[in-house]
Amino acid sequence: MEISGTARQILASKGSEVTTTTPDTLVFDALTLMGEKNIGALVVMEGGSVAGVFSESDYSRKVILQGRTSRNTRVGEILSRPVISIALDDSIEECMARMTLHRIRHLPVMEDEHLVGLVSIGDVVNWIIHAQRHAIQQLTGYLSGQYPA
């Protein structure tokens, strides 16, 4: 089954608000913000540009497992670089391909080098579930004679 849709459509559905931080932020403060917002990643901004993404995975792999502490480590020391991003009109399949290839769960959405949103693996999964549900309803309606051929 081909999955139709774009990053633009996901953002139109979920909203384009992105929570950001800076490279100088302490990891502890970034984690506190993530907890308050109930999110799994922050886009790291530096000088108006996206410098990287800081995620729960970065914390577990680059702080905890390396014997660092969140109160003595800055986000800029451990954020994921280079930035893997998508454009507004990139397909859902392209989002999945980049996430899989780079083993990441969050993609900043860019337009003319400006951050306009963030798509997570959860957003993509929700989109696919909705698209499959819609396709099943259409097929069921067709088979039951509710919709003309």
Q: Tens of pLDDT along the chain (149 residues)?
A: 456 789 999 999 999 899 999 999 999 999 999 999 999 999 999 998 999 999 999 998 999 888 899 999 999 999 988 999 999 999 999 999 999 999 999 999 999 989 999 999 999 988 888 777 766 666 776 677 776 65
Cis peptide bond prior to 108, omega within 30° of 0: no
Q: Is 81 part of any domain?
A: yes
pLDDT of residue 84: 95
Q: Is 45 part of any domain?
A: yes
Domain of 96? 7-143
Q: What HEC string does 26-59 produce?
A: EHHHHHHHHHHHCCCEEEEEECCEEEEEEEHHHH
Length of the chain: 149
pLDDT of residue 107: 97
Q: How far apart are CA 108 and CA 52, in angstroms?
A: 9
Q: Is 148 part of any domain?
A: no
Q: Is 2 part of any domain?
A: no
pLDDT of residue 140: 72
What total of structural domains would you count in the chain?
1
pLDDT of residue 4: 78
Q: Which residues of 9-24 are buried (b: 16+ CB within 10 A; e: fewer)?
A: ebbeebeeebebbebe
Q: Is 59 part of any domain?
A: yes
Q: Is 149 part of any domain?
A: no
Query: The CATH number of the domain where 26 resides is what?
Result: 3.10.580.10
Q: How far apart are CA 13 and CA 119, in angstroms?
A: 11
pLDDT of residue 50: 96
pLDDT of residue 65: 85
pLDDT of residue 147: 63
Q: Is 33 part of any domain?
A: yes
Q: How far apart are CA 25 and CA 28, in angstroms?
A: 8
Q: Is 78 part of any domain?
A: yes
Q: How far apart are CA 16 and CA 72, in angstroms?
A: 32
